[in-house]
Structure 1
Amino acid sequence: MRATASDRGRGLRWTVRLRMTLLYGGLFLVSGVALLGITYLLVATADGPKFVISRQRAPGDLPLPALDREALEAWGRAHAAEDRARRLSELLNRSAVALALMSTVSVALGWVMAGRVLRPVRTMADKARRISERNLHERLAVTGPDDELKDLGDTFDGLLARLDSAFDAQKRFVANASHELRTPLTFQRAMIEVTLGDPDADAATLRELCERLLTAGEEQERLIEALLTLSSSQRGPEHREPTDLAGPAGDVLLASPPDALPVEAVLRPAPVTGDPRLLERLVGNLVDNARRHNRPGGWIRLTTGVRDGRSELRVVNSGPVVNAADIDRLFQPFQRLHPRTAGPPGHGLGLSIVAAIAAAHDADVEADPGPRGGLDVRVRFP
């Protein structure tokens, strides 16, 4: 089989170390050649020695032959030029040999120094190669001077920390979602088995079973719809358009059931850019959460407007006392202040959907417990 050009090219791997070494050696060689050329030009253009014949002497009283002064000076100049050419040639040859030797030494030193500089990179690459979704808790933990390589390692460790947190959140979400979906299914199966095991079950009993199954199915439908809304909110709005928070807030109030806890609303202009459908869902979830977690004879206040140059939606409600340390947990999926059987009905997804929609619109969510109970939630848009 004949090797192709691409196969032959695979034998030499142009690593960063090799490229840095060639760069160091090439820069040294270019600098050396430039310095050698400048030195050669300076020596070549310098004035040579001058021959001056002041007088002619001979030992004793020997007669001196008549010499042509101009011929003698010409011979001197020719001899000086020949000597200069010889010296320049020697300078060029010796400098070339020295440059070749020093270039070789510089390449060797460049190879060693590049290896030392890139050693932390190889260490980070080896550690990163061993990290997977099963050991995201491990870190590169780069040591050494506070330079660019340590900054790269710290940045990668920060990325691993965020990925680890995201994977843990995903695992908890899947486990909680599975539990939320499995519980009504188990309840429905138990009702069916009890009814089928009753030999005296009549039409009224079967009708009651069907009604209870229908109610459980509607509850599952609401849960699935909430999960889909959470997923679509995390992906972000499909389109953005200028809108006013007072519009979605007014639509939510108009759609409220007649027997629901009334809302005191003060709707001022609050221009934002976003998805009106998601913004309406955000307002609806906040109002619904305020109604669910309230007390008999309680109150809800809804306001929109502009504060400190930012559009703001605010929902304040009365209700049970909320611990300030539990507020951040309320905006996580499937989190409740009270156990499922002790608290009001719900799936624990309302405020997590609010947080996802706000994040998709680059908005900040702030929440504080009320002085006498309840919650004060503010969503501030850019």
Structure 2
Amino acid sequence: MTEPRPLPRRSLRTRLALFYAAGIYVAGIVVLAVITVPLVGIQSTATGPARGSAPGVITGTGHGIGPHQLLVGSAIALVVLIPVALTGGWFVADRFLRPLRTITTTAKAISAGNLQQRLDLGEPADELTELGGVLDDLFARLHASFDAQRHFVANASHELRTPLAGLRTLLEVTLADPDADAVTLRSACEEALALGAHQERLVQALLALATSERGVTRFDTVDLAHIVEGVLAGRRDQAAERGIDLVEHLAPAVTAGDPRLVESLVANLIDNALRHNHPDGHVEITTQTSGARATLTISNSGPVIPGDQIQRLFHPFQRLAPERGSRRDGYGLGLAIVHAVARAHHATLTTTAPPEGGLAVTVRFAHPWQSAETETARIASLTREGAGRRTRPR
């Protein structure tokens, strides 16, 4: 059995025109009925002088408009009303859909690659203008996101290409040496393993950044003090080797979030404080509950950081001058991961650079119930928006 062919879909303009025309036609029928029905049965009267009567006195009556004449006149009026209603409906539909056509045309141009273009509907301020403003904001965020993605990919490619080129050069030089012995080959293998470990750490940092930017998928109750203790357990030896003094003020600070992401934030802050520090410097770590927020503060000694360069450190692959730290084993991703995790948890990130040098970073998380309420409200808002888009008449 062959399936029936689907009926051709009418355009929105056609459907609106028919809807408006039907409304005009029904209104015309109602008006015509209101006017003509009382005329049925009304008898005409004639006035004039009659023999033996005063002027202006009614002298007789005549027949009114008959049903036949009313029927014919009404039919003619209804026939004439059809093209009038269709024309009016088509005009009204065209007038109201004009901004929507502008939105569609511009959106097609923007989706083709011209992300700098905007709708800019202007006046009058109505629902379609509001939709245009929302779409303009969306296009602006997409433009910024695509630019950041291109910038990130370019920097990531550069960061990965450097160790790969070094590894290839090392292997080529070693293989080209005709006098290479076992000791030389072993040394080359050790350097290759070191370069491979460098690339592995870089890829892990890139994955951590991508995971942080994806957002929080689970909210568990976590204690910042407990997480800091766990992170410090694996870094005390490193601090002791460099002579860096660790000062801890760990009070319970309970919040809600993804434990792995919060641990990544703490680990990157501590690693950044240890890496960009002076020998015999210090790192001070404080966790506490302040008001309605759980607070983590990590401050360290180190080189002086210009105030106008602080925000740049939270972008991927951004480093200051080489003299900022005595070691170059970082990738410029640590603070970028911290910023992404804080933003995903709706936490407040505050950074200051003391005049004597170093950096102080404070992260303020909300209490568990506030974090859950914020995420629930966000999901509910997205759900309502999605439901509104699904149920909005076309």
- TM-score bracket relative to the smaller structure: 0.7 to 0.9
Asked if structure 2 preserves the Cα contact closer than 8 Å seen for 1:28 and 1:103, the reply is no
Match of residue 98 from structure 2: 119
Match of residue 351 from structure 1: 335
Whole-Å Cα distance in 1 between the matches of residues 225 and 81 of structure 2? Answer: 77
Asked if structure 2 preserves the Cα contact closer than 8 Å seen for 1:40 and 1:92, the reply is no
The CA deviation at 1:93 is: 4.6
Q: Deviations over 1:42-70 (max 9, x none)?
A: 566x99899xxxxxx99xxxxxxxxxxxx
- Aligned pair in 2 of structure 1 residues 87, 307: CA closer, same or farther (>3 Å)? farther
Whole-Å Cα distance in 2 between the matches of residues 321 and 290 of structure 1? Answer: 13
Whole-Å Cα distance in 2 between the matches of residues 105 and 344 of structure 1? Answer: 83
- Aligned pair in 2 of structure 1 residues 49, 124: CA closer, same or farther (>3 Å)? closer
Q: Deviations over 1:317-368 (max 9, x none)?
A: 2222223332222122111112599863211111111122222223232323
Gaps of 5+ in 1: 51-56, 59-75
Match of residue 73 from structure 1: none
The within-5 A match list for 1:175-214 is 175-214=154-193
The within-5 A match list for 1:1-382 is 4-6=4-6, 9-10=7-8, 13-39=9-35, 83=63, 86-87=65-66, 90-91=69-70, 93-132=72-111, 134-260=113-239, 261-338=244-321, 344-345=327-328, 346-382=330-366
Asked if structure 2 preserves the Cα contact closer than 8 Å seen for 1:304 and 1:312, the reply is yes
Whole-Å Cα distance in 1 between the matches of residues 199 and 150 of structure 2? Answer: 21
Aligned pairs, how many? 348
TM-score by length of 2: 0.77
Whole-Å Cα distance in 2 between the matches of residues 173 and 120 of structure 1? Answer: 37
More displaced 10-residue stretch of structure 1: 282-291 or 242-251: 242-251
The CA deviation at 1:188 is: 1.6
- Secondary structure of 2:245 counterpart: coil
Asked if structure 1 preserves the Cα contact closer than 8 Å seen for 2:276 and 2:325, the reply is no
Asked if structure 1 preserves the Cα contact closer than 8 Å seen for 2:302 and 2:358, the reply is yes
Asked if structure 2 preserves the Cα contact closer than 8 Å seen for 1:40 and 1:88, the reply is no
Aligned-partner residue type, residue 264 of structure 1: V
- Secondary structure of 1:5 counterpart: coil
Whole-Å Cα distance in 2 between the matches of residues 239 and 199 of structure 1? Answer: 58
Flag the structure with larger Rg.
1
- Secondary structure of 1:348 counterpart: coil
Aligned-partner residue type, residue 322 of structure 1: I
- Secondary structure of 1:131 counterpart: helix
- Aligned pair in 2 of structure 1 residues 116, 273: CA closer, same or farther (>3 Å)? same
Aligned-partner residue type, residue 27 of structure 1: G
Match of residue 71 from structure 1: none
Gaps of 5+ in 2: 46-50, 53-59, 367-394
Match of residue 72 from structure 1: none
Q: Deviations over 1:89-113 (max 9, x none)?
A: 5445534533543453232122123
Whole-Å Cα distance in 2 between the matches of residues 344 and 321 of structure 1? Answer: 16
Whole-Å Cα distance in 2 between the matches of residues 184 and 341 of structure 1? Answer: 22
Whole-Å Cα distance in 1 between the matches of residues 167 and 75 of structure 2? Answer: 92
Asked if structure 1 preserves the Cα contact closer than 8 Å seen for 2:213 and 2:341, the reply is yes
Aligned-partner residue type, residue 358 of structure 1: A
Asked if structure 1 preserves the Cα contact closer than 8 Å seen for 2:283 and 2:300, the reply is yes
Asked if structure 1 preserves the Cα contact closer than 8 Å seen for 2:300 and 2:359, the reply is yes
TM-score by length of 1: 0.80
Percentage identity across paired residues of the two chains: 45
Whole-Å Cα distance in 1 between the matches of residues 259 and 225 of structure 2? Answer: 11
